Amino acid sequence: MKKTVFISSTYLDLKEERKKVWECLEKFDVAVKGMEQFGARKSNPLETCLAEVEQSDIYVGILGMRYGSEEPNLGKSYSQLEYEKAIEQNKEILIYIIDEENSTVKPNLIQFDKIHKLNNFKTVLKERHTIDAFSNSQDLVLKLQRQFSKYLTPKKEIVIADEYENTKKILDLFFLVPSIYSGREIKLKVKFTGPPKPVSKPICQNFNFDFGKTIINQITVEYPVFEFKNFKHIFIEFRLFEKFISMDKNLEYEIYAKVLFKDEKAKTLTTDFRDRTERVYNESYIDSNDNYYDHELPEPYYDILKIGDGQIALSLKDIIAKEPKTTQK
């Protein structure tokens, strides 16, 4: 049975994103609902959009830098009211929020007077859902295409883009202008090697990871094959921690990861939260041949207590286990 997708967002700041999402959905056997096809109706705007949400199977919420027009009597934006209707109706919900750090948003499109309401709305979404971030329309569509492939039936004549080829294209551009392509998502086949370690505070501050909730692990990239060796580690945030810890590290995995760029260099990659004793050289040590009349010769080394940090960027987004090969009988 054909499913229906409702696209919810503000319009002025996300015109290009909405257009690309509609084009993406043309690859699937699906009905699409959104402001583009509301047209003239007798019902008021709120009744119209909420009725469309009710008739949909999947709600796609896209948030940029505008809170949007508000319903006069309720004091909430139409986008937020559409979301609340989707929650009430128990719809399948996909949430995408603009990556403010890696996107280019025109200042004249930002509703500065409604930033507080927008941030509160985003906070609610982040608490209730596993949200994803997007840096531009192409990045958003690639992420949505993967999700749509789980819920929707592709049209037979349409071939979904090869994600590994797309990885190569993104990385070719990333190493030319990394600041522009920072935040883009790629697909890799990897093996995880060595033990995981906690990430240092400078690294967390650099890449906006939660300090004390992020680990790092060595990887080898099995596919695609690259000449460069930049990706030797991957950062793993807490939402994927349990899944990662339970994995069989002898297997190869397909993963989605975000490429990140910062021009600041952090001094230490990992940290240690444990207090531990460290033996150091005693600079006051004097060779035993020297005369020491009034006290004992000092030891050449002594122990000090090193206090742990105490507060406990390829960044992992998802893991897909590669099925082990079976032997033919």
Read off the pLDDT of residues 29-47 as tens digits, 9 standing for 90 and up: 888 888 766 544 445 778 8
Q: pLDDT band at 273, cuts 50/70/90? A: low
pLDDT at 153: 85
> Is residue 328 very low, low, confident or very high in pLDDT (cuts 50, 70, 90)?
very low
Q: Domain check: are 13 and 146 in the same one?
A: yes
pLDDT of residue 58: 94
Q: Is residue 61 part of a domain?
A: yes
Confidence of residue 264 (pLDDT cuts 50, 70, 90): confident
Q: Is the pLDDT of residue 129 over 50?
A: yes
Which residues are within 8 A (CB) of 274 and not within 5 positions of it... i.e. 6 or more apart?
308
Whether 106 and 207 map to the same domain: the answer is no
Do 134 and 263 belong to one domain?
Answer: no
End residue of a domain, out of 100, 116, 151:
151
Q: Is residue 295 part of a domain?
A: no
Which of 151, 184, 217 is the endpoint of a domain?
Answer: 151
DSSP line for 280-329:
EE-TT---TTS---SSPPPPSEEEEEE-------EEEEEEEEPPPPPPP-
For the residues 166-178, what does the mean pLDDT come to? 87
pLDDT interval class at 311 (50, 70, 90): very low
Average pLDDT over residues 49-69: 92
Shared domain check, 141 and 181: no
Task: Tell me, yes or no, whether 174 and 317 share the same domain.
Answer: yes
User: Do 133 and 196 belong to one domain?
Assistant: no
Average pLDDT, the chain: 81
Average pLDDT over every residue of 185-190: 89
Distance CA 9, CA 95 (A): 10
Choose one of 151, 184, 203: the last residue of a domain.
Answer: 151
pLDDT of the residue at 289: 46
Is residue 184 included in any domain, yes or no? yes
Same domain, 14 and 135: yes
Q: Using 50, 70 and 90 to split pLDDT, how confident is the model at 196? A: very high
DSSP character for 133? E
For 203-254, write each residue's pLDDT tens digit.
888 888 889 999 999 999 988 888 777 888 899 999 889 889 988 888 899 8
Overall number of domains in the chain: 2
For residue 159, name the pLDDT band (cuts at 50, 70, 90).
Answer: low
Is there a domain that residue 163 lies in? no
For the segment 136-150, the average pLDDT, to the nearest whole number, is: 87
Q: How many residues does the chain have?
A: 329
Residue 272 has pLDDT above 60, yes or no: yes
Q: Which domain holds residue 105?
A: 3-151
Give yes or no: residues 122 and 252 share one domain: no
pLDDT (0 to 100) of residue 198: 92
**Same domain membership, residue 134 and residue 86:** yes
For 211-217, the CB contacts below 8 A with 24+ separation are 211/311, 211/312, 212/273, 212/311, 212/312, 213/237, 213/238, 213/241, 213/312, 214/238, 215/241, 215/244, 216/269, 216/270, 217/192, 217/193, 217/244
